[in-house]
A and B are shown apart, each in its own frame.
Chain A
Amino acid sequence: MAGRTDTTFGGARLDVSWSQIRRYCYDGVTYLVYGLAVLFFLFPVLWVISLSLRTEGAVYTSLELLPSNPSLDSYREVLDSGLLRWMRNTLFVAVLSVTGILLVTTPAAYGFSRFRFRGRRSLLLAVLGFQMISPIVIVLPLYDIMRTLGLTESHTGLILLYIGLQIPFSLWLLKGYFDTIPTELDKAARIDGCNRLQTLRYVLLRPVMPGIAVVAIFNFVLTWSEFVMAYTMLSPGGEDLYTLSMGIYVFDNQLATQWTNIAAAAVIGIVPIVIFFVALQRYFVRGLTDGAVKG
């Protein structure tokens, strides 16, 4: 292939060369797109990392990404002032929320996929309809409900809230997954003596795993990053309750212009969750592309 480009531009070969040249042009444009995309999407993060490694005096001067005498002081300072605690809180809330979401939606997705009952379609559409209502629209009544139930200023309340808010989307996605699994499997399990619970547990759970992985990854990222609900429900409580996002926001407002510290806080807000996602994004993308996102 490569040998042919430099051979000839004339005669009978012209046709071949043209299509090849055109292909190289497309390749070139594609690489250009990759380059620009990487620059636009990666640079801000690199820059913030660079700032976070500087001494307070060095932020005004240089444009180099690699600071001349890097220091970890701002991380030390920031972690001491609460970020570590907020990270633990966030992890706790995210893990329990994801567990709860899976425990509630998996059976429901099975139910919608495997039963035929009156009103099934309208119920399903109604559930999906909630997907169109942004949480911000109902944050006020939710705050009121949680206050009445005594669940503000508590992680338990926040976890219940996240489960409630994330069900429609997760249900939609998982139900699509169950739909792709042939019902012959159910029938075979039944003949082998499984009731429905056992069928789900021993037969269907394995093929549905990619879908469960997508739902788990997606919801973990979402609850880890969530701001509005956490800020609304938890900010009357003490700093000890904060999650990472809201903690960093409050922190930023207190620090005013200590840019290296703010940058360090931002990096701590970015790096763990991005590493988590990059490690698992293969499953996420595969689950989305192979599976059941029906139009």
Chain B
Amino acid sequence: MTVMLTMTSDAAIDDPSSGSGIRRTVGTYVDSVVSRPLFWLLPALLFITVFQLYPVFEVFRMSLTDMSLITSEESYVWLENYRRLLGSERFYSTLRVTGLYSIASIILQIGLGLGLALAIDYGVRRGLRGPLFTRVVVLSAWIVPGIIIGLVWKIMLLETNVGVVNNALGRLGFGIVPFLSDAQIAVVSVITAGAWRGTAFSMIMFYAGLKRVPDELYRAAKIDGAGPLARFRYVTLPQLKSVVFVVTILVTIYSLNSFDLIFALTNGGPGRATEVIALSMYKSAFNSYEMGMAAATAVVLLMVTLVVTAVYFRLFDISEEI
């Protein structure tokens, strides 16, 4: 009843000059449509349903079948794909590589990002030269398409004289370092290239967080006699807590699901030394055509991501802040 009332009064306000009944009805109709939330949300919800919700269900369903890219027939094999996956050496190797890559990436990117954000914030507050330039350079690295980053680092790390790193090391009297052909060093190379790309994201998030710390807090702490380290520990960090949480979650999700950079840099090699879960999933789908197996791998990847995120929510205990 109240809804009806507001509707009619809206229409009156809407078109005060009009005496025409038809325009009035159209106005009322438009008003009643646009005052429903569904009108505003529908397109977005449709897109999400088709391109996100349904595919998530579908990947679970696919993982229970023997679907293949070559034939159109498929039948349910239930947990067979998972049984095969858990029984294969390759699966544990990709799990190990993904874990190692992700942990190193999280530590590196958050550490470097926070350090850079602090340096830039300090420079801006002190009026030094250079913080803007530094910020732009770091952000530019983030903008470069992942596949091109892989290519750039491949060129940098070539194991001939063309590779600038090896060339420079050679001039200093070192031998050729097998950056991409040694199993262990290749992992380090992939992590380094990943940090080159990812650091900017945590830097800019931390920087945004730092800018929102009110100057009064620092001044008050200074008056209370807190040194720079104490100010960082007791003023900056607590204020950054929710940003740290968001950045950690996003960087984790991002590194666990890494694909394009590694695809271009090493394609998982040498052997399987840098083959992360996403890469092995993609290969079983489009090189071996086993969509069912690949879907099972994707489901495992999704599960790993969700479990890790849930653990973060427990650890951080930010319930009072969201």
- Is B167 at the interface (CB under 8 A from chain A)? yes
Kindly state the separation between the CA atoms of A115 and B42 in the bound complex, as whole angstroms: 14
- Is B281 at the interface (CB under 8 A from chain A)? yes
A164: nearest residue on chain B (CB-CB)? B51
- Is B80 at the interface (CB under 8 A from chain A)? no
A195 touches B246 (CB 8 A): no
A134: nearest residue on chain B (CB-CB)? B257
Kindly state the separation between the CA atoms of A8 and B322 in the bound complex, as whole angstroms: 53
- Is B151 at the interface (CB under 8 A from chain A)? yes
Q: A115-B40, A141-B54, A195-B30 are in contact. Are A47 and B156 (CB under 8 A)?
A: yes
Q: A38-B134, A274-B143 are in contact. Are A44 and B152 (CB under 8 A)?
A: yes
CB B273 to nearest CB in A, in angstroms, measures: 20
| Interface 1/0 per residue, A257-278 and B, CB below 8 Å | 0010011011001100110011
**A107: contacting residue among B43, B146, B153, B282, CB under 8 A:** B43
- Is B133 at the interface (CB under 8 A from chain A)? yes
Main DSSP-derived SS at the A contact region: helix
| Interface 1/0 per residue, B106-117 and A, CB below 8 Å | 000000000110
- Is A173 at the interface (CB under 8 A from chain B)? no
Chain A residues with Cβ under 8 A from B25's Cβ?
A: none
Chain A residues with Cβ under 8 A from B43's Cβ?
A: 103-104, 107-108
A168 touches B134 (CB 8 A): no
**B144: contacting residue among A130, A265, A269, CB under 8 A:** A269
- Is B182 at the interface (CB under 8 A from chain A)? no
Kindly state the separation between the CA atoms of A281 and B212 in the bound complex, as whole angstroms: 19
Chain A residues with Cβ under 8 A from B321's Cβ?
A: 295
Kindly state the separation between the CA atoms of A126 and B257 in the bound complex, as whole angstroms: 20
CB A168 to nearest CB in B, in angstroms, measures: 7
- Is A165 at the interface (CB under 8 A from chain B)? yes
Chain B residues with Cβ under 8 A from A278's Cβ?
A: 136, 139-140
B207 touches A295 (CB 8 A): no
A34 touches B48 (CB 8 A): no
| Interface 1/0 per residue, B224-268 and A, CB below 8 Å | 000010000000000001110110010001101101100110000
**B122: contacting residue among A26, A190, A285, CB under 8 A:** A26
B134 touches A34 (CB 8 A): yes
B152 touches A266 (CB 8 A): yes
A225 touches B139 (CB 8 A): no
Q: Tell me how many residue pairs across A and B have CB atoms closer than 8 Å.
A: 283
**A141: contacting residue among B47, B58, B137, B152, CB under 8 A:** B58
Q: How large is the interface on A (under 10, 10 to 19, 20 to 34, 35 or more residues)?
A: 35 or more
- Is A132 at the interface (CB under 8 A from chain B)? yes
Chain B: how many interface residues by the 8 Å CB criterion?
A: 106
> Which residues of B10-51 have CB atoms within 8 Å of chain A's CB atoms?
10, 13-16, 27, 30-31, 34-35, 37, 39-41, 43-45, 47-48, 50-51
CB B199 to nearest CB in A, in angstroms, measures: 8
B136 touches A270 (CB 8 A): no
CB B226 to nearest CB in A, in angstroms, measures: 14
CB A53 to nearest CB in B, in angstroms, measures: 14
- Is A232 at the interface (CB under 8 A from chain B)? yes
A30 touches B148 (CB 8 A): no
**A59: contacting residue among B145, B148, B162, CB under 8 A:** B162
Kindly state the separation between the CA atoms of A31 and B123 in the bound complex, as whole angstroms: 9
Kindly state the separation between the CA atoms of A142 and B34 in the bound complex, as whole angstroms: 32
- Is A111 at the interface (CB under 8 A from chain B)? yes
- A selection of 7 A-B contacts at a CB cut-off of 8 Å is A37-B137, A41-B196, A45-B152, A140-B295, A141-B56, A145-B58, A224-B145
Known: A60-B160, A140-B291, A144-B62. 5 other contacts (CB 8 A): A37-B119, A37-B137, A137-B302, A140-B295, A285-B207
Interface residues of B (CB under 8 A from A): 10, 13-16, 27, 30-31, 34-35, 37, 39-41, 43-45, 47-48, 50-56, 58-59, 62, 115-116, 119, 122-123, 126, 128, 130-131, 133-141, 143-148, 151-153, 155-156, 158, 160-162, 164, 167-168, 171, 196, 199, 204-205, 207-208, 211-212, 228, 241-243, 245-246, 249, 253-254, 256-257, 259-260, 263-264, 278, 281-282, 285-286, 291, 294-295, 298, 301-302, 305-306, 309, 318, 321-322
